[in-house]
Structure 1
Amino acid sequence: MTFTTLEDVEKFYRNYAKAAGFSTRVRSTNRKGNKIKNQSITCSREGKWKSKIFPTEKTNPTASLNCPARIYIYTLKDVGAWIISKVVLDHSHPCCPSKAEMLKQHRKLSMSIRRTIENNEEAGIRPSKTYQSFVVAAGGRRELNFIENDVRNYITREVHSFDRNWNEFLLNFGLVDNKWLSDLYEDRHIWVPIYLDHNFWTGMRSTQRSESMHSFFNKFITQNSSLIQFVKKYDNCLRSREQAERESDAADFYTVIPCATKSSIEAQFQDMYTHQKFREVQAQLRGKANCITRLTNSALGYSVYEVGEQVSSSIFNKFVVTYDSVAADVKCQGLLFESRGILCRHALSVLSFEQVSQVSPRYILERWSKKVKRRHTHIKSSHNEPLLEPRSKRFDELVFRSQNVCEFASESKELTVILHRVYGTVMVEMKELKAKRKGTSSLSHEDANLESVNELQSPPRI
């Protein structure tokens, strides 16, 4: 295939990638002086991630998966055209066209969007509100080719972590030396009543109502919101939750969190679990380094272990863990799996001691799997079909299309002149059509009145 410019080749392959369900990046470029001679464009999942430290502590997802898909292009010396010399179409990973719009390469902020973000930032409008205005104007999140994080990243607003807010809270109120708050912070990961550990709560806490529901709805409503406002905002809440789920699914599908250890059990969870749950598993695997396992009793494949966990320089917490090698069943006194569905560091320590390479399928819950089939996703949602008046709908469509035209025309003075000329011609044509229709509608209105009078005077017989 032959192209006029290098940009045309890159655009062609980028459009193909979006249709096929992946993204691209420039792998290598050879130059002669200031001119490019040839270039290699690959799938963005090309290459392999390698850790510079050991043990690996990286928990951010990586897309590198040694994907071979790529194209090679070079330029003809005499003609100046660009030719694709080699194409590799096979991928080392699945591609999903329906999720491609979530990839960073295929998300874009147009000039009008960027200007709106800048203006709203100067006016003190929060990024979430700015994004919601784009959603409403476009008629749904699926109509936008960017996500809320793109809006936040554009204005480079700093995200405050929990630790920073906690430290500021202690400093502002002079509570740095408060022992109770210090102990509370140290135990922040176990703010669950111990009596509920024997029940499966999927990680929910007793304070779920105040911490989760209130936090979620506070993005959309306030204590002064009326009932009518709540009903309207409730739809926005559902749309927001649906969009967050779509973004998480896309991240789980296209990226991989590297394993922190050489454990085959960790690799098993990496392949099955979503990023969020796999990070929890990795936290338990890292905590296993603080555990000392000792066999206390064993008979007929049933073993009892005492696992000591060092929580400070002089304090060890002891847990009793049982392992049935016949049933491949492991159970810890702490009941973390029974309450949250995640194997604890003590159970993992015993499995390592027993040289178990794969955990039983009963410890891999389908609800945490990235491949889970949710029944509700097959139900057609009405969130993306707002009820608008025909004129409002036409207006919104015209505004969005005109923004693209204006952005293209603003690139040069000549294009702007062409747009002004066409604009004047179109306005004259539309005014003439409107005037013509106005005269026709007046006659039609008179005819309708006459027909109505005649019908009243001589009603039709039934």
Structure 2
Amino acid sequence: MNQAQFMKKGDCMIQVLSRHGDMYSLKVDEQKLIGDQPVIDTYKVSFDLVVHECHCECNLFGSKATLCCHMLLTFSYFQVNEVPKCYISSRWSKNVRRKHTYIKSSHDVNCSDESNNIFRGLRSHFFNVAQEFVSDIEDASILHLSIEDALIKLYGHRASKLQSSVPNRQSSNPPESQRAINVDRLLSPPQVSTKGRPSNRRLGADLDKPIKNTTRRFFS
């Protein structure tokens, strides 16, 4: 998408309308071909020379997080050679963290079919609702509040499920006293006397001391 918008810069002409301090107001004329007839659409663009913030009334970035050709042309006009960080969406970053991916793979189709079906159903439902009430600000506000209320209820339901599962796990463990007895039994086994002749009663042990005394007197 960004590559297509970058190529469409060649179909645009930019002109500065006004300037107030570091803020510029511009217009971008984009030439389009509808059928065999060329058509020119004009878009208003605002640009901050200090922080390099740009806004276009086509609102392509606001809806799809994609820089439009009008904004790209504005950056080129003011010699901004790098895309400002505020326009680099985290979802396009290689370091983005995702809780779960719903892209089907040949390795995990069997284990993810159920979650994929649930996700597709919810996504279709959310999209249809948003599409129905997107044209009215009051309707959209009510929808936002309803989603927030639903989130609160869902988090509460999840917390209650976790709390109810804790007693079940605790009941499956033995009592503290019983566990202490078991540990004592494991750590303190009864001592068993070893078999065989004691190490200090080997054959000839009684003769070692006289022999050593005789040898000491002979060489002294």
TM range (shorter): 0.3 to 0.5
State the TM-score, normalizing by the size of structure 1. Answer: 0.21
Higher relative contact order (CA closer than 8 Å, sequence separation 6+): 1
TM-score by length of 2: 0.43
Q: Please identify the structure whose Cα radius of gyration is greater.
A: 2
